[in-house]
């Protein structure tokens, strides 16, 4: 299926999605987000795909929600149209891991999109920020909620209240990104990470994503209980038998995603 705002390819068991509105620094128009959700849902349902990589271009991962589009909106447009909720919230339902590979600007909705992914790998020239305050709005796609969980209350306040950008080094120090790589190696590193994840058992990697995400939604004791039950569940899989048998046989495992 042809898309107008994204480029999609499959590399072995990894779905690669490139945001592709370079003329607007990959600003997240409704059309772009609709296409993104559609393809993520398609990959999520595809047995052959284990993991997705989301990348922009050298200048921008995404410079935020589309400002010309929003400039025309009235309160009734955003309320009745359920702006952001209608499509963005579906991201949370994707069960396979998504790696955000961020070069250049990840601002506003772009930073929020990266934070909604599961692993964030940053190029050394990446810049993160929540500049919505400069437009007379607040972050609307999870910025005020995910940022303090990812960094700290003080840094989240600093970023959202001043609208300043932080560079990749600061973002790594703050815990927003899992690692920083040279800009010219970003895609290679993200794909290598995705291929590594893709080499493991599909139900097990989905359970890990679900269990880690549960940490954000529940108390520690409930979370530990949830993890324990999923851990028990892995013993019902053929891949647990294979993984442990392979270790004992001193050979690489051959998982069958069952
Ligand atoms: N929406 C639509 N178009 C955008 C855009 C956005 N968020 N950000 C940049 N563009 C467009 C510019 O209008 C410009 O288009 P033209 O060439 O047609 O004029 C093109 O992309 C290149 O941008 P600049 O010329 O501004 O490039 P620059 O290198 O001088 O500056 C920048 C780069 C600092 C990222 C600057 O473009 C900028 O500040 N962008 C806005 C960032 C922003 O405020 N993001 C938050 C949006 S609100 C939001 O995201 C709400 C939410 O929570 C979901």
CA distances from 217 to 112, 149, 233 (A): 18, 11, 21
CB 14 within 8 A of CB 50: yes
Q: Please report which confidence band the pLDDT of residue 253 belongs to, taking 50, 70 and 90 as the band edges.
A: very high
pLDDT at position 38, please?
Answer: 98
Indicate which atom in ligand 1 lies nearest the CA of residue 60.
Answer: 35
Mean pLDDT of all residues in 242-254: 98
Q: What is the pLDDT of residues 174-200, one digit of tens each?
A: 999 999 999 999 999 999 999 999 999
- Give the closest residue (by CA) to ligand 1 atom 37: 63
Among 208, 200, 179, which Cα is nearest to 242's? 200
Q: Which among 57, 64, 136 is the best mutation to test ligand 1's pocket, defined by most ligand atoms within 8 Å of the CB?
A: 64
- Give the closest residue (by CA) to ligand 1 atom 36: 63
State the catalytic residues: 65, 109, 112, 132
pLDDT at position 2, please?
Answer: 83
Q: What is the pLDDT of residues 76-132, one digit of tens each?
A: 999 999 999 999 999 999 999 999 999 999 999 999 999 999 999 999 999 999 999
pLDDT at position 195, please?
Answer: 98
- Give the closest residue (by CA) to ligand 1 atom 32: 63
Indicate which atom in ligand 1 lies nearest the CA of residue 138.
Answer: 53
Close Cβ partners of 40 (under 8 Å, ≥ 6 residues apart): 15, 17, 52, 90, 91, 94, 98
Assigned token pair, 90: 């579906």
Alpha carbon of 27 to ligand 1 centroid (Å): 7
Q: What is the pLDDT of residues 57-68, one digit of tens each?
A: 999 999 999 999
The 10 Å CB-count burial string (b at 16+, else e) for 67-91 is eeebeeeeeeeeeeeebbeebbebb
Alpha carbon of 78 to ligand 1 centroid (Å): 20
Q: Please report which confidence band the pLDDT of residue 172 belongs to, taking 50, 70 and 90 as the band edges.
A: very high
Alpha carbon of 63 to ligand 1 centroid (Å): 5
Burial class (CB in 10 A: 0-12, 13-18, 19+), 133: middle
Say if pTM beats, i.e. exceeds, 0.95: yes
- Length of the chain measured in residues: 258
Q: Which among 25, 61, 133, 147 is the best mutation to test ligand 1's pocket, defined by most ligand atoms within 8 Å of the CB?
A: 25
Question: Above 90 in pLDDT, residue 147?
Answer: yes
Ligand 1 neighbours by CB, cut-off 6 Å: 24-25, 27, 63-68, 105, 107-109, 112, 131-132, 135, 139-141, 143
Rounded-to-integer distance, Cα 200 and Cα 224, Å: 23
CA distances from 31 to 34, 35, 104, 169, 202 (A): 5, 6, 22, 32, 30
50, containing H or E segment: none
Close Cβ partners of 71 (under 8 Å, ≥ 6 residues apart): none
């Amino acid at each position: 299926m042809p898309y107008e705002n994204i480029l999609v390819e499959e590399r072995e068991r990894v779905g690669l999605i490139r945001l592709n509105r370079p003329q607007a620094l990959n600003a997240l128009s409704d059309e772009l987000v609709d296409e993104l959700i559609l393809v993520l849902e398609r990959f999520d349902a595809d047995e052959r795909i284990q993991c997705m990589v989301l990348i922009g271009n050298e200048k921008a991962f995404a410079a935020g929600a589309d400002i010309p589009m929003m400039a025309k909106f009235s309160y009734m447009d955003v309320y009745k149209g359920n702006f952001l909720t209608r499509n963005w919230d579906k991201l949370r339902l994707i069960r396979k891991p998504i790696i955000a590979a961020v070069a250049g600007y990840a601002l506003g909705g772009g930073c929020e999109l990266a934070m909604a992914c599961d692993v964030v790998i940053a190029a050394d020239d990446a810049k993160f920020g929540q500049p919505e305050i400069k437009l007379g709005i607040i972050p609307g796609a999870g910025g005020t909620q995910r940022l303090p969980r990812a960094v700290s209350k003080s840094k989240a306040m600093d970023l959202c209240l001043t609208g300043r950008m932080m560079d990749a080094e600061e973002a790594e120090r703050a815990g927003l990104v899992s690692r920083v790589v040279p800009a010219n190696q970003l895609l290679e590193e993200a794909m290598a990470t995705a291929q590594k994840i893709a080499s493991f058992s599909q139900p097990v990697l989905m359970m890990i994503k679900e269990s880690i995400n549960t940490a954000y939604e529940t108390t520690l004791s409930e979370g530990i209980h949830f993890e324990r039950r999923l851990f028990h569940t892995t013993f019902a899989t053929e891949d647990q038998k294979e993984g442990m048998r392979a270790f004992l046989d001193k050979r690489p495992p051959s998982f069958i995603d069952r």
